[in-house]
Chain A
Amino acid sequence: MRQTARGSDPSSSPIQPTRAKPGAVRRLLALGTAITAAGLILIITFPALSADPAKPRNVLILMAGEYGLPAYDLVLNGMRNVVKAGYSSPLNWHAEYMDTARFSEFHEEKAVIDFYSQKYKALTIDLLIAVGPSLTPIFRQFGDHLFRGAPTLILDLLPSGVELPALFRKPKMTGVFASADPIGSIEAALTLHPDAERLVIISGASDMDRLLGKQALAASRRYEQRIAIQHFIGTPLAEMMAAVEALPDHSVILLTAYHVSATGTAFYTREVTREVTARANAPVYVLFDSNVDVGGVGGHVISFKKMGIEAGRIALRILREENPAAISPVREGLLEYQFDWRQLRRWGIPEGRLPEGSVVLHRETTFFEKYFWAVMGTVAFFTLQSALIAYLIILNRRQSALSVRVRKAESRYRELLRVDRSARLGEMAGSLAHELNQPLTAILSSAQAALRFLKAGHTEPNQIREILEQIVGDDKRAASIINGVRNMLKKGSADRELLDVNDMVAEIAAVFQGEAINRHIRVETRFDRSLPPVMASKTQLQQVLLNLMINSAYAMAANPVDDRRLVLATGANGPNVVVSVRDVGPGIDPAHLDRLFEPFFTTRSEGMGMGLAVCRAIVDDHNGRIRAENNPDRGAAFTFELPAVENG
C-alpha cells in the first residue's frame, strides 16, 4: 500500500474541504494524484485462489466520485450484501474512484476511463459496475469499447424526464437510474408546514449541484402564488450560512446538493447539510437519503440503499450469465419518503401529517416500545394479580356482607319466633293469668287457714306441716308457669339440648291448660314412654305445639262445648320421633292443604297467618318435617317428626 485514497474523516469537522487545489493546472496535477490514488486496487474479497479450481471472476466497480462519498457507502453496501447472499463462487472485487465528478471544468472522464481500461487489460472483467454521477453519457457513447466490451451495469442519477430508451440502447449494458424529485420534497415540506410562507433553495456550485438547484427552483415555481421563493445556488458558503441563520419565520429550506462551494472548495453535501441544519432557524428538506440523518427533516429522497440493492440483483443475474441487454434497466421504486424522527420532534411535526408509506428513521423507541413484551408481560402479570387480589377482596367483602346478612336474617328469624311466641302467649293472656291465679289463690287461702288455726290455738304440727307443704307446692307451681312464660318470651331461646319429648309436651300442655278450660276443650295426652331423646330447642318445639294447639282450639270453636277434644300424642316413626296434635273440628279444606304453611296464609280474620309458617321454619331448622292432614273420621291432625338422637 502506498497511500490511502483519501484521508478525510467526515466526523472530525462539520465541513471538511475534500480538496483545496483549485485551478486548471492543479486540476491536472490532481488528476494524476487521483489516478494514482484511485489506482490503488482495492481487493475487497480475496479468496484463496490456489485452493479453488474455479477461476475467480472479476468485478470492477468504477466510481465517478471520490472515496468517502456517503452515497457510495450506501450503494456499495446494499449491492455487496445482495451479491454475497446470492453468489457463492469466488469473486475478485476491484474498485476505482475516478474522482472526476467534483471537477466541473475537467471533461476528460473518457481519458480516465481509458486509463483504467488499459490498467485492467490483463484481466477479464466479468462485470463492470459504473457508478455515477455523470458516467452515463460516456458509456452511452463508448461503452462498447471500454474494458473490451465487458458486461456493464451503470448506476447513475438522471435528470427527471429523460427518456431512457433514447439514452441507452447499447449491447451488454443495463443500469439503475434514479431521478431526484425536488417537487416531492417541496410538496412534503409544504404539507408538513402548512403555515410555510417561504421556500429557500440551496445548492452548491458544481454542475450537478447547480443542475439540481435549478431543477428545484423550476419545480418551486408552481408554488409562487402561495409562498416566497428564495434561492442560494452557488452562493458563497458564508453568505448562505448567514442567511439561513436569520430567515423570516415560516421558512422552509430545500438543500439539494452541495459538493463544491462558490470558491471551488469541495464538500460533502452530507456535511453541509449537517452544518446548515445546525445553524438554520428553519427546517431543512433534502433530496437524498444520505442527507436525512444528519439534521435534515427528510423529503421524497433518492434511496441510494435501494439503488444498491437493485444493482446487486442485476449484478447477480449478469454473473449468472444473463445478457445485460436483456435485463430491463430499473428506473422505478428508487425514491421514498424518508424523515428523521428527531427532526419531526424538533419542528413539532405530527407524524400523522407524513405522506403514506413514509419511512421514519431514528425513531426513539420509548421504554414501552423497546420492552413491549416484557412490559406487557409485567403489566399482564400485575393486572392479573391485581384482579385476583381485587377478586379475593370482593369475595371476602361479599362473604362478610353475606355473613352479616345471614346473622341479620338469623336474628330476624329469632325475633320473628319470639314475636310469634309472645303473640301466642298474648292470645292466652287471660287463661295464663287464670293458671297463675290458681296457685296464688291456693297459697293465700292456705296461709290464712294456718293463721286461723294458730289464732284459735289449734297447733297440731301435722296440720300446720300439711298446710305449709301445700303452700310450697303451690308456690313452685306458680314459679314454673312464670318460668314457662318467660322462656317463651326471652330472646336467646334457640339453645339445643337433649330433650325428652314427652316432658316437653307435658309442660306446654300445662301452659295451655287454662286456655283449654276457657274454651271447654278436653286435652288428652297419649305418650309413648319408650321414645329416645331429640336434640332440640325446647322453647321452639313448645312454640310449635302451642301454635298447633291454639289453631286446633280455634278450629273447634264452633263445636258444642261437650264436643271439643284435643289429643296430644307422641310416638316413633323409624328413627324419628313423632308428635301430633289432633282435634275434632271441621278439618282442613283440601284446597288449603298445600298453602297451609305459607306465610300470611290464614283463614281466620284476626290472625296474621304466621303461626304455621313459624312452625315449619322451626321444624325445618331442626331437620324435621311437619305436615297437616285430615283425620279419617273428622278433624285435622298436625304432625311433626324430628330425628332422634341415636343411642340416646
Chain B
Amino acid sequence: MGEPKPVTCFVVDDDASVRRSLSFLIRSLGYRVETFKDADAFLARKPRGGIGCIITDVKMPGMSGLDLQDALNRGDIGLPIIFITGHGDLPMGVGAMKKGAVDFLAKPFDDEELIAAIEMALEKCRQARQRSEALDNASRRIETLSPREHDVLRHVISGRLNKQIAYELGIAEQTVKIHRGRIMKKLEVASLADLVRLAEKAGITPAP
C-alpha cells in the first residue's frame, strides 16, 4: 500500500443529523469529510483536483441532488456522485445513474453499502484523474507541433494517404513523409493507431 493520497468526501444534505452521522462514518474509514447544508454552499466551495466523491441527498430545499449532478456534469468538477434518498424513488435513481451517478442508496443504509459505494466512487475518481493526466500529457505534446505538422496530423488521423495529403496541402509527397516522421517522434507514438488515439484524447478533429 502506497502513500495515502489526500481523499475527501463531500457530504451535501439539508439534514444536520444526517450530515454529522455521515461525517462520523466517513471519518471512521480514514477519509476527510466536508459537509454542506445545500448544493449552493458546495458549489461555492469549488473543490479542485484530488481524489474524492460527493454524497448528496436527492431532495433538498432549493437545488436538489439531481440539479447538483447536472451542474457538476456541466462544469469541471470531476467528482463522482453517490445519491442517498429517503424516498427510494426508483425512476429518479435510474435517471441519476444514467447521468453517471455511482450509486443510489435508500436511507437508512448499511455502512457496508455506503463504504462500497464510496470505494467505487473513489476508484472512478482515480481513473478519471488518470485519464485527465493522460489527456494533459497528450495536449502538452501536441502543443510542440508546428502549424504545418498540426495540419498534417489532422489529415493523417482522417485516414488519408501521403499522396492525398501532399495534394491537399500543395506540397511534395516526400515532405509529407518527413512531417509524419517528426510528428511520430514529437508525440512519442509508435504506430498510427496510437497516434489516432492520442489525437482523439487531445481533442484534435480530423481534417474534413
Contact = CB atoms under 8 A, between A and B. Distances in A.
Given A446-B24, A467-B24, A562 B62 contact: yes
A437 B111 contact: no
B15 A442 contact: yes
Nearest to B114: A445
A452 B86 contact: no
A446 B20 CA distance: 8
A58 B155 CA distance: 186
A562 B61 CA distance: 9
A522 interface: yes
B24 A518 contact: no
A216 to B, nearest CB: 125
B25 interface: yes
Interface string A444-485: 111011101100101000000011001001100100000000
B107 A449 contact: no
Max chain A Cβ within 10 angstroms of own Cβ: one of B18, B28, B59: B28
A440 interface: yes
A518 B64 CA distance: 10
B108 interface: yes
B106 to A, nearest CB: 9
A438 B28 contact: no
A517 B24 contact: no
Contacts of A517: 14, 59-61
B127 to A, nearest CB: 26
Contact of A470 (B17, B86, B111): B17
Q: Which of B14, B21, B84 has the most CB of A within 10 A?
A: B21
Nearest to B20: A470
Interface string B15-41: 101101110110111000000000000
Contacts of B109: 441, 444-445
A445 B21 contact: yes
A430 B21 contact: no
B24 to A, nearest CB: 4
B18 to A, nearest CB: 5
A182 interface: no
B201 to A, nearest CB: 39
B87 interface: yes
Contacts, number: 88
B3 interface: no
Give the size category of A's interface with B: 20 to 34
B25 A448 contact: yes
A450 B86 CA distance: 23
Most chain B beta-carbon neighbours within 10 Å: one of A443, A445, A448, A449: A445
B118 to A, nearest CB: 12
Given A449-B24, A450-B24, A517-B60, A442 B87 contact: no
A307 B186 CA distance: 176
B27 to A, nearest CB: 7
A548 B45 CA distance: 39
A442 B84 CA distance: 12
Contacts of B25: 445-446, 448-449, 452
Given A470-B17, A517-B14, A441 B86 contact: yes
Interface in A490-549: 516-518, 520, 522
Interface string B88-116: 00000000000000000001111100100
Contacts of A443: 21, 108
Given A434-B86, A445-B24, A518-B59, A452 B29 contact: yes
B17 A477 contact: yes
Nearest to A430: B87
Among A433, A438, A441, chain B packs the most CB atoms within 10 A around the CB of: A441
Contact of A445 (B14, B22, B59): B22
Contacts of B18: 438, 441-442, 445
A516 B60 CA distance: 10
A121 B80 CA distance: 170
Given A438-B86, A445-B108, A470 B28 contact: no
Nearest to B107: A441
B110 to A, nearest CB: 7
Contact of A441 (B24, B27, B29, B108): B108
A445 B111 contact: yes
B111 A438 contact: no
Given A446-B21, A473-B17, A474-B17, A452 B87 contact: no
A437 B108 CA distance: 7
Given A434-B86, A441-B109, A442-B15, A452 B28 contact: yes
A611 interface: no
A65 interface: no
A439 B87 CA distance: 14
Nearest to A434: B86
A448 B62 contact: no
A327 B31 CA distance: 155
Interface string A388-422: 00000000000000000000000000000000000
Interface in A178-205: none
B200 to A, nearest CB: 40
A522 B61 contact: yes
B17 A442 contact: yes
Contacts of B60: 517
A520 B61 contact: yes
Given A438-B17, A441-B108, A448-B25, 15 more contacts: A437-B86, A438-B86, A438-B107, A441-B107, A442-B20, A443-B21, A443-B108, A445-B21, A445-B109, A446-B25, A448-B110, A449-B25, A449-B27, A452-B29, A458-B28
21 contacts: A434-B86, A440-B108, A441-B107, A441-B108, A442-B15, A442-B18, A442-B20, A443-B21, A444-B109, A445-B22, A445-B24, A446-B24, A448-B25, A448-B28, A449-B21, A452-B111, A470-B20, A470-B21, A473-B17, A517-B14, A522-B61
Interface of B: 14-15, 17-18, 20-22, 24-25, 27-29, 59-62, 84, 86-87, 107-111, 114
A-B pairs with the 5 shortest C-beta distances?
A449-B24, A452-B28, A442-B17, A445-B21, A448-B111
